[in-house]
């Protein structure tokens, strides 16, 4: 009983972290869809200030050259690292591509968009640290909670560095996909530690192994679909760059086969979720956490289909891009939590029939 209060605090901090991570994915989607990545060209400050400027008159006269030089230095360091790991051809492309060194014009909206993204990121990092502190209450009873919480902090630090590379090197498209997948791993770890702490010392019901296997398959399909979506976005960015921002309505069609793959995979994901929902309805009562999670998942999938249609036929509106990716992450989060519950369900109304 002595760990009850600290344990409750860990759960509260962990749940807040999960919410912040979803908000961070949304903010990152807004930054990417609006092209605000270089809204703040330096870090941790923004144009050398803790509070971003609101007009160009507040910036130093030589700000373009200053930050272009810093970006060049960062790209050169990254190119050296690529050389070390055997990616010499890519390193050469980074060194020779002058377009990534073009100075960004100051834009107040983009600056504050990136700044808000950073604030949410900083809040997420703070709560992850609080999770580490309070995770030690489980040191004697559940050490994996401690190790996973610590690992997540290091993973977030790596993710922050990788995010800076995504922005700085427009050329390295595959990093965007890796960046998104790591975000899902961070989210999954936080959901795992939350679930492990929640079921700590509580009665567990009989495992639904077959349904859990189907859930894992559906979860894998969702991750593949997110990967296709990220790669589609990278392809569209390349088309947009080639057309210099013109003919926006044709960008999706010009993306090629990856668009068809993403669309077809969406149909498969929908069908498999219907199958999983049928299994959940048969195996658990209507008030169970499992059925609640599946209902939430279906709602998110329907909304995701709507935003996908908007993206395809309404010339990629930025708001739909950001909402589309956060809906995908919500689907992943719900399916992952469902998977954990199927292997370790506590004795609440979610008990199996």
46 contacts 52 by C-beta, under 8 angstroms? yes
- Whether residue 315 has pLDDT greater than 80: no
Q: Looking at the structure, do residues 149 and 209 belong to the same domain, yes or no? A: no
Q: Any idea what DSSP says for residue 256?
A: T
Same structural domain for residues 215 and 279?
yes
pLDDT digits (tens, 9 = 90+) for 228-259: 888 887 777 777 666 656 666 677 777 777 78
Q: Which has the closest alpha carbon to 290: 251, 247, 341, 329?
A: 341
Number of domains in the chain: 2
Q: What is the number of other CB atoms lying within 10 angstroms of the CB of residue 23?
A: 17
pLDDT at residue number 14: 97
Average of per-residue pLDDT values in the chain: 84
Q: Measure the CA–CA gap between 82 and 108, rounded to whole angstroms.
A: 34
Cβ distance 303 to 7 under 8 Å? no
Residues 224 and 185 grouped into a single domain: no
Query: Do 208 and 194 share a domain, yes or no?
Result: no
213 shares its domain with 197: no
Same domain, 181 and 208: no
Residues 250 and 161 in one domain: no
- Residue range of the domain that includes 108: 1-201
Please give the DSSP secondary-structure letter assigned to residue 201. T
Reported confidence tier of residue 272, pLDDT bands at 50, 70, 90? very high
The candidate with the shortest Cα–Cα distance to 320, out of 243, 269, 221, 248, is: 248
The per-residue pLDDT for 122 is 92
Q: What are the tens digits of pLDDT across the range 190-219?
A: 999 999 998 876 655 556 778 889 999 999
User: Is 196 in the same domain as 267?
Assistant: no
Residues 209 and 197 in one domain: no
Domain C-terminal end among 169, 184, 201: 201
Q: Are residues 194 and 209 in the same domain?
A: no
* Final residue before a domain boundary, out of 201, 225, 247: 201
């Amino acid at each position: 009983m002595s760990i009850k209060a600290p344990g409750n605090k860990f759960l509260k901090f962990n749940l807040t972290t999960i919410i912040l991570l979803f908000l961070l994915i949304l903010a990152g989607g807004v930054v990417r869809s609006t092209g605000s990545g270089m809204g703040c060209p330096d870090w941790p400050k923004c144009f050398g200030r803790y509070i971003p400027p609101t007009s160009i008159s507040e910036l130093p006269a030589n700000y373009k050259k200053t930050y272009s030089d810093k970006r060049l230095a960062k790209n050169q360091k990254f190119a050296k690292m690529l050389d070390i790991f055997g990616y010499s051809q890519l390193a050469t492309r980074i060194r020779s591509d002058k377009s990534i060194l073009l100075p960004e014009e100051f834009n107040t909206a983009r600056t504050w968009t990136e700044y808000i993204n950073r604030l949410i990121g900083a809040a997420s990092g703070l709560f992850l640290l609080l999770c580490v502190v309070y995770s030690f209450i489980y040191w004697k009873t559940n050490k994996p909670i401690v190790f996973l919480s610590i690992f997540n902090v290091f993973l977030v630090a790596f993710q922050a560095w990788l995010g800076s590379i995504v922005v700085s090197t427009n050329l390295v498209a595959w990093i965007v996909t890796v960046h998104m997948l790591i975000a899902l791993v961070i989210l999954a770890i936080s959901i795992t530690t939350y679930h492990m702490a929640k079921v700590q010392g509580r009665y567990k019901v009989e495992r639904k192994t077959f349904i859990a296997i189907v859930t894992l398959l559906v979860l894998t399909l969702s991750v593949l679909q997110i990967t296709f979506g990220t790669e589609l976005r990278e392809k569209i960015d390349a088309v947009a760059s080639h057309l210099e921002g013109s003919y926006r309505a044709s960008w999706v069609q010009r993306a090629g086969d990856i668009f068809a793959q993403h669309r077809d995979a969406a149909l498969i994901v929908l069908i498999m979720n219907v199958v999983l929902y049928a299994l959940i309805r048969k195996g658990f009562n209507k008030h169970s956490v499992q059925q609640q999670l599946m209902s939430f998942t279906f709602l998110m999938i329907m909304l995701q289909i709507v935003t996908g249609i908007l993206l395809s036929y309404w010339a990629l509106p930025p708001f739909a891009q950001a909402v589309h990716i956060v809906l995908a992450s919500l689907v992943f989060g719900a399916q992952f939590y469902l998977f954990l519950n199927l292997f370790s369900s506590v004795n609440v109304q979610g008990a199996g029939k």
